[in-house]
């Protein structure tokens, strides 16, 4: 259980590991979908190419969009690209790095589908059976052009009466399948070579820019996560205080109207307990949350966060940070003990 807990915490704290896991999961789903798909070519000259090419490229487009939707960094990238500059300058290099990372993961499942389809050859045979040059095959010498086109359109349907047990159909199908597999293996080799060169040649160049962009892209993602978590924490604290304030005001109103309930039955030795509106933990760790205590302040703070992100400089003036929904603990005076509620 400790190993599973450690693994879960690692995936929870690492967005890159989560995205790699989702990418691998989409690739496995792609293989399963293709293996369970029932391929039926229409065997009509007008629709063979449309069906074959559509089946070759339409599912990859859908898988690519699913990869973009499943990747949280795609939304963070667009937000970073479209946000106002405010007190923090925008670095196009970080956006390009995030875009490259998102595209690499989103293209994994579509490429798996295309490679499987090419290595299998059914889509390719269906799409290009009517485009084969009949002069390459001696069996079409005694056929008219219309008969040749009809025969070629029926090549993917081996159970059709026109092409059943025909050597010409087997020759055309074998030719197209070999061509499809050659393209598939060539594409596979090309991708492997590119990945090998990218992995082996990258250490030969200066890693400073790469490390900087990787660090700040992770920072942007983690900052947004921490902001969302802090907003949820503040919303829970704010709702709790509003409920306590409501009960306190209702208790005061009932006292004013003389509706003391069962308080008259209690003896004078039992004092009536009252929970103040600040009934939550009043430690200094939540002082930064309690400072924002009205709807107008919350709306202004959220608007400021979107329109004017704080500068990436902890020595900057605290007025630029707003001090509202910060995930940092208050400054500890030297010689004093830090609060146990200090956030990371």
Domain hosting 58: range is 17-222
Residue 286 burial (CB count, 10 A)? 18
Residue 273 lies in a domain: no
Question: What tens digit of pLDDT does each residue of 157-202 get?
Answer: 988 888 888 888 899 999 999 999 999 999 999 999 999 998 898 8
Contact in structure between 22 and 71 (CB atoms under 8 Å): yes
Residue 25 lies in a domain: yes
Give the pLDDT score at 205: 84
Residue 169 lies in a domain: yes
Question: What tens digit of pLDDT does each residue of 113-126 get?
Answer: 999 999 999 999 99
Give the pLDDT score at 289: 73
pLDDT of 304 > 50? The answer is yes
Contact in structure between 48 and 156 (CB atoms under 8 Å): yes
pLDDT of 323 > 80? The answer is no
Give the span between the Cα atoms of 102 and 107, in whole angstroms: 9
Buried b (16+ CB within 10 A) or exposed e, 105-122: bbbbbbbbbbbbbbbbbb
Residue 316 lies in a domain: no
Residue 76 burial (CB count, 10 A)? 20
Residue 168 lies in a domain: yes
Q: How far is CA 37 from the centre of its chain?
A: 26
Our separate counts of H helices and E strands in the chain read: 12, 0
- How much of the chain, in percent, has pLDDT values that exceed 90? 29
DSSP secondary structure letter of residue 314: T
Domain count, the chain: 1
Residue 292 has phi, psi (to 5 degrees) of -100, 105
Residue 51 lies in a domain: yes
Give the span between the Cα atoms of 135 and 302, in whole angstroms: 71
- Residues 101, 116, 28: CA angle, nearest 5 degrees: 55
**Mean confidence (pLDDT) of the chain:** 79
């Amino acid at each position: 259980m400790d190993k599973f807990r450690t693994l879960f915490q690692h995936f929870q704290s690492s967005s890159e590991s989560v995205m790699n896991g989702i990418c691998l999961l989409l690739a496995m789903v792609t293989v399963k979908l293709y293996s369970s798909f029932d391929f039926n070519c229409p065997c009509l000259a007008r629709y063979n190419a449309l069906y074959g090419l559509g089946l070759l490229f339409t599912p990859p487009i859908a898988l690519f969009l699913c990869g973009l939707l499943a990747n949280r960094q795609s939304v963070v990238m667009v937000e970073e690209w479209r946000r106002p500059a405010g007190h923090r300058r925008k670095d196009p290099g970080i956006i390009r790095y995030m875009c490259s990372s998102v595209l690499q993961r989103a293209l994994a499942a579509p490429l798996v589908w295309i490679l499987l389809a090419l290595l299998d050859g059914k889509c390719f045979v269906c799409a290009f059976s009517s485009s084969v040059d009949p002069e390459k095959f001696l069996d079409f010498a005694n056929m008219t052009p219309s008969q040749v086109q009809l025969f070629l359109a029926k090549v993917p349907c081996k159970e059709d009466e026109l092409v059943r047990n025909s050597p010409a159909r087997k020759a055309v199908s074998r030719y197209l399948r070999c061509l499809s597999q050659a393209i598939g293996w060539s594409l596979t080799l090309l991708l492997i070579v590119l990945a090998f060169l990218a992995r082996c040649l990258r250490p030969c160049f200066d890693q400073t820019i790469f490390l900087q962009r990787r660090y700040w892209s992770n920072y942007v993602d983690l900052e947004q996560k921490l902001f969302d978590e802090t907003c949820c924490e503040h919303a829970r604290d704010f709702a709790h205080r509003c409920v306590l304030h409501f009960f306190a005001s209702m208790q005061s109103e009932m006292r004013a109207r003389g509706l003391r309930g069962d308080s008259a039955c209690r003896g004078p030795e039992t004092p009536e307990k009252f929970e103040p509106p600040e009934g939550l933990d009043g430690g200094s760790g939540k002082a930064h949350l309690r400072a924002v205590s009205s709807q107008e302040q919350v709306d202004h703070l959220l608007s400021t966060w979107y329109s004017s992100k704080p500068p990436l400089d902890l020595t900057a003036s605290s007025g630029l940070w707003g001090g509202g929904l910060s995930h940092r603990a208050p400054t500890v005076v030297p010689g004093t003990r830090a609060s146990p509620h200090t956030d990371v």
